Amino acid sequence: MNPPQFITNANGDKTAVILSMADYQELMEDLEDLAAIAETREEETIPWEQVKKDLAADGLL
């Protein structure tokens, strides 16, 4: 990641940020990943042993 650049107002307060396109795209991908995780947070989990058993039954393991 490249260091961001900031736009400041007359008082020197940061009011905006400038990112490279690569850094922006990486940030957006991370945000999408976090949103997907948040959506599935309350879903029921499946024990690993059950997953292995199901995969074996399907001939995938």
Hey, is 49 helix, strand or coil? Answer: helix
Q: What is the pLDDT of residues 33-60, one digit of tens each?
A: 999 999 998 999 999 999 999 999 999 9
Question: Which one-letter amino acid corresponds to residue 17?
Answer: V
Rounded (10°) CA dihedral 46, 52, 58, 60: 130
Choose between 1 and 27: higher pLDDT. Answer: 27
> Rounded to two decimals, what is the model's pTM?
0.60
Residue 61's pLDDT is 87
Rounded Cα–Cα distance for residues 31 and 50 (Å): 31
CA 36-33-21 angle, to 5 degrees, is 140
Question: Which one-letter amino acid corresponds to residue 15?
Answer: T
Helix (H) or strand (E) holding 41: none
